[in-house]
Amino acid sequence: MTYPFGEHPSGYFVYDPTGHLSVQIMRMPPRPAFAAGDDNKGTDAEVRAAYDGYVAYYGTYRVDEAHSVVTHVVEGSLNPSYTGTEQPRPFKLEGDLLVIEARDNDGTLYYRELHRVK
């Protein structure tokens, strides 16, 4: 088992009642500030580490309850290859716990366990 965002990543999946979503996930613990003290002056390695430690996209969603699949229709993304795509995600919803299944580009299966924020 691997943890690309650490064992306890932080973030939000926001599904609103109008059918819009926003997803942001950050590596924990967070990356250190850039050594230059200026977010516009990171080294190539610092910028790459920041990029690799964060996922963000937004768009709309639709739910196929019969097949337990939520599809994220990505309108914009930190990762350019996601923009304009549809990302079907099998899911399980049990009370305030939502588990979403996905696959990386290399086919690796992973799960995101999301807890409702009240």
Confidence tier at 61 by pLDDT (50, 70, 90):
very high
Whether the pLDDT of residue 114 is over 90: the answer is no
In a domain? residue 56: yes
Q: 57 near 79, Cβ under 8 Å?
A: yes
CATH number at residue 52: 2.40.128
Apex 22 CA angle, 8 and 80, nearest 5: 90
Question: By residue range, what is the domain housing residue 57?
Answer: 10-115
- Fill in the amino acid letter for 111: Y
Would the pLDDT of 21 be above 90? yes
Per-residue pLDDT, 5: 83
- pLDDT tens readout for residues 25-59: 999 988 889 999 999 999 999 999 999 999 999 99
Report yes or no on 1 lying in a domain: no
**Nearest-angstrom CA–CA distance, 35 and 102:** 35
Question: What pLDDT does 8 receive?
Answer: 87
- Number of folded domains that form the chain: 1
pLDDT given at position 104: 75
